[in-house]
A and B are shown apart, each in its own frame.
Chain A
């Protein structure tokens, strides 16, 4: 997808200076902004403080920072409460256990920034696990199976995107149809769980990459992080990425400006499909089986992570890294509930619902102030 995005041309100079100001004010190398010289400058401290206030109350950065603080607070609270919580491995396990969800949330971020939604991702993950398991069982080499899955899921995304763009079907309904289709195809392939014994998949699932100090991660984490980095690059530094934001801001304006809105709108669903495929492969590594009922409701987790990560559901604002943070917050809540032991698993759902509420109200307050 990145191939379609042409090289950027002198874009930093196009950005209005007031957009840059808040980011620079909180950056590590804080320097007085050149925008407002002259009139007796307030002390550096006040300016830093006002910069911080400005950043926290901006719809763009505020929710992400709150999520970051929440994550740190929960991590510290967990560390104070439970023995053995304060370890690097607990932190790394958040990535290990949620690698597939990170990839899903990345794809979902693209869609939600354009103001759309993708309900099909959970079902597509399940479909990917089923395709992988059944083809591997049939003796197909992994080198063919994995690319095939990615192509198929991207194709499904393309169909959804075309349905949304050409036939003006609501994203909600179009992706719902894709969800039914993917889930139904799972059952058509097999209604029973198929386990995977392919040596490549097994070795991939069991490999741990040592990081020193007794810490380790899985190769899936690396793949997830590569996806995240690629997504950050595409969204922040390519023309395509800017068009994605423009679509969420106002599709009409984007079109009038001559942006390729049609192509972009279809492509975000292809990206989401591709990410679902990658997530499906990672999930297969994680569970080493294909099962048609896996990942039910994962689309809600992905949407929740994106929202908690500060992406505005009306589109236009959001960061991939915020969504990663959102996944980590969901993961750490689960970890806390595991550590607590006496809390039942359904508390996870209630906590996630409560968190969603808090973040949505926060977004509402922040955006209302700006308008």
Chain B
């Protein structure tokens, strides 16, 4: 029994899942209807659906961030890219004569995503070609990016009236929120591309030892470009969802601190900031933990402003539980337990 628990505890996903279940349990006690999912007008409603829908943008960014972190990098600029993508899309919609036309919306989104891809290439250039530390390379765009977004919106909050655009943020597709569908597609694509091909392995190898992987014939430079561009792509999608949800582009507040939440989701999910082994499933669990925590704080009736204290607590607990010191303690406990069982068997 002890040995089984020990083996489970050694799994990277053990603590995040325990944390998620604990949060669910708290919710179930405080709010018995938590797991109820009802269908109204053909749409799914319920706390779980809310968690998924509100967590979708952060999850999408966290997926891109996971791959960046796996290469021993980090992307701080995603929040700024969110703001830029939202600002570009909204300013195109405002400038067009017919913002309700789906074709116009498609053009606006395409341009916004295209510009974000360029920003991702820029990050990749700084990291892969100039060899600048990722945290600083992306800090540049994090600082300047919000300024650029303000430049696009000219310091205004751009409000658009476009039903097809709004649907991306708050619409439904076969009963499921469109944002959740998009997040699921991004997750599936990322998982398929990196786990069904050798790409994931190469990303991990670059994260573990760039020099060794280069000598083994892995093109680190191209991979780095790819992951930063993909991360910017994810940020653009998330930015468009966030903007569409509010039907307004706010250069200052769209995606504010979302980079921190996304990084936390990745870390809670068991991917080390030191690069190497990554887990997209872990990131999914991590994002759910954060979003469930936020929702829990609301449902339990704690003032929402205190959310950050709880976030700090969860981050600290998960990080401490996953730390090498704790892992070592657990390993020794497991060994002792195994020895004791063996001893008993000998005596018997």
Interface residues of A, Cβ cutoff 8 Å to B: 117, 163, 166-170, 172-174, 176-181, 183-185, 187-188, 191, 300, 303-304, 307, 313-314, 344, 346-350, 352-354, 356-357, 360-361, 364
What CA separation (Å) do A15 and B292 show in the bound complex? 56
Q: Does B94 contact A (CB under 8 A)?
A: no
Whether the Cβ atoms of B144 and A187 lie closer than 8 Å is no
With a cutoff of 8 Å between Cβ atoms, the chain A residues found around residue B316 in the complex are 163, 177, 181
Whether the Cβ atoms of A314 and B133 lie closer than 8 Å is yes
Whether the Cβ atoms of B320 and A167 lie closer than 8 Å is yes
What CA separation (Å) do A191 and B307 show in the bound complex? 13
Whether the Cβ atoms of A300 and B139 lie closer than 8 Å is yes
Q: Does B89 contact A (CB under 8 A)?
A: no
What CA separation (Å) do A163 and B323 show in the bound complex? 10
Interface residues of B in 258-289 (CB under 8 A from A): 260, 263-264, 267, 273-274
Query: On chain B, which size bracket covers the interface?
Result: 35 or more
Closest to B151 in A: A346
What CA separation (Å) do A135 and B330 show in the bound complex? 43
Report which of B140, B145, B309 forms a contact with A357, defined as CB distance below 8 A: B140
What CA separation (Å) do A352 and B144 show in the bound complex? 7
Q: Which 4 A-B pairs have the closest CB atoms?
A: A353-B144, A184-B308, A349-B147, A184-B309
Whether the Cβ atoms of B147 and A356 lie closer than 8 Å is no
With a cutoff of 8 Å between Cβ atoms, the chain A residues found around residue B264 in the complex are 173, 176
7 CB < 8 A contacts A-B: A176-B264, A177-B316, A181-B309, A187-B305, A187-B306, A313-B133, A352-B144
Whether the Cβ atoms of B308 and A180 lie closer than 8 Å is yes
What CA separation (Å) do A360 and B139 show in the bound complex? 11
Whether the Cβ atoms of B135 and A117 lie closer than 8 Å is yes
Report which of A169, A184, A304, A314 forms a contact with B312, defined as CB distance below 8 A: A184
Q: Does B136 contact A (CB under 8 A)?
A: yes
Q: Does B166 contact A (CB under 8 A)?
A: no
What CA separation (Å) do A173 and B263 show in the bound complex? 9
Q: B101-140, CB under 8 A of A: which get 1 and which 0?
A: 0000000000000000000000000100011110111011
B228 to chain A, nearest CB (A): 16
Report which of B307, B319, B324 forms a contact with A163, defined as CB distance below 8 A: B319
Closest to B268 in A: A173
What CA separation (Å) do A177 and B308 show in the bound complex? 9
Whether the Cβ atoms of B144 and A360 lie closer than 8 Å is no
Known: A166-B325, A167-B319, A313-B133. 9 other contacts (CB 8 A): A172-B263, A176-B315, A179-B312, A181-B308, A181-B309, A184-B309, A185-B309, A346-B251, A364-B130
Q: Does B148 contact A (CB under 8 A)?
A: yes
B128 to chain A, nearest CB (A): 13
With a cutoff of 8 Å between Cβ atoms, the chain B residues found around residue A177 in the complex are 312, 315-316, 319
Report which of B136, B260, B263, B303 forms a contact with A307, defined as CB distance below 8 A: B136
What CA separation (Å) do A137 and B305 show in the bound complex? 21
Whether the Cβ atoms of B143 and A349 lie closer than 8 Å is yes
B91 to chain A, nearest CB (A): 15
Interface residues of B in 314-346 (CB under 8 A from A): 315-316, 319-320, 323-326
Whether the Cβ atoms of A349 and B323 lie closer than 8 Å is no
Q: A180-B308, A187-B306, A344-B150 are in contact. Are A167 and B325 (CB under 8 A)?
A: yes
Whether the Cβ atoms of B131 and A364 lie closer than 8 Å is yes
What CA separation (Å) do A314 and B135 show in the bound complex? 11
Whether the Cβ atoms of A184 and B310 lie closer than 8 Å is yes
With a cutoff of 8 Å between Cβ atoms, the chain B residues found around residue A163 in the complex are 316, 319-320
Q: Does B235 contact A (CB under 8 A)?
A: no
With a cutoff of 8 Å between Cβ atoms, the chain A residues found around residue B53 in the complex are none
With a cutoff of 8 Å between Cβ atoms, the chain B residues found around residue A349 in the complex are 143-144, 146-147, 150
Whether the Cβ atoms of B74 and A350 lie closer than 8 Å is no
B160 to chain A, nearest CB (A): 21
Whether the Cβ atoms of B144 and A173 lie closer than 8 Å is no
B262 to chain A, nearest CB (A): 12
Interface residues of B in 36-78 (CB under 8 A from A): 74
What CA separation (Å) do A173 and B306 show in the bound complex? 20
What CA separation (Å) do A348 and B274 show in the bound complex? 33
Most buried by A among B126, B143, B145, B308: B143
With a cutoff of 8 Å between Cβ atoms, the chain A residues found around residue B251 in the complex are 346
What CA separation (Å) do A183 and B145 show in the bound complex? 23
What CA separation (Å) do A179 and B264 show in the bound complex? 13
A165 to chain B, nearest CB (A): 10
Q: A163-B316, A350-B151, A353-B140 are in contact. Are A170 and B310 (CB under 8 A)?
A: no
Report which of B137, B147, B306 forms a contact with A347, defined as CB distance below 8 A: B147
Q: A313-B133, A349-B146, A364-B131 are in contact. Are A184 and B319 (CB under 8 A)?
A: no
Q: A167-B326, A300-B139 are in contact. Are A354 and B315 (CB under 8 A)?
A: no
Q: Does B33 contact A (CB under 8 A)?
A: no
Whether the Cβ atoms of A188 and B315 lie closer than 8 Å is no
Report which of B150, B263, B325 forms a contact with A176, defined as CB distance below 8 A: B263
With a cutoff of 8 Å between Cβ atoms, the chain B residues found around residue A360 in the complex are 132, 136-137, 140
What CA separation (Å) do A304 and B273 show in the bound complex? 22
What CA separation (Å) do A293 and B139 show in the bound complex? 21
Whether the Cβ atoms of B319 and A169 lie closer than 8 Å is yes
With a cutoff of 8 Å between Cβ atoms, the chain B residues found around residue A187 in the complex are 303, 305-306, 308-309
What CA separation (Å) do A309 and B196 show in the bound complex? 46
Whether the Cβ atoms of B141 and A353 lie closer than 8 Å is yes
Q: Does B142 contact A (CB under 8 A)?
A: yes
Q: A174-B319, A304-B143 are in contact. Are A183 and B308 (CB under 8 A)?
A: yes
Q: Does B311 contact A (CB under 8 A)?
A: yes
What CA separation (Å) do A360 and B131 show in the bound complex? 10
Q: Does B155 contact A (CB under 8 A)?
A: yes
With a cutoff of 8 Å between Cβ atoms, the chain A residues found around residue B130 in the complex are 361, 364
With a cutoff of 8 Å between Cβ atoms, the chain B residues found around residue A185 in the complex are 309
With a cutoff of 8 Å between Cβ atoms, the chain A residues found around residue B267 in the complex are 170, 173
With a cutoff of 8 Å between Cβ atoms, the chain A residues found around residue B137 in the complex are 360
With a cutoff of 8 Å between Cβ atoms, the chain B residues found around residue A303 in the complex are 139
Whether the Cβ atoms of B143 and A356 lie closer than 8 Å is yes
Whether the Cβ atoms of B132 and A300 lie closer than 8 Å is no
What CA separation (Å) do A236 and B60 show in the bound complex? 46
Whether the Cβ atoms of A169 and B323 lie closer than 8 Å is yes
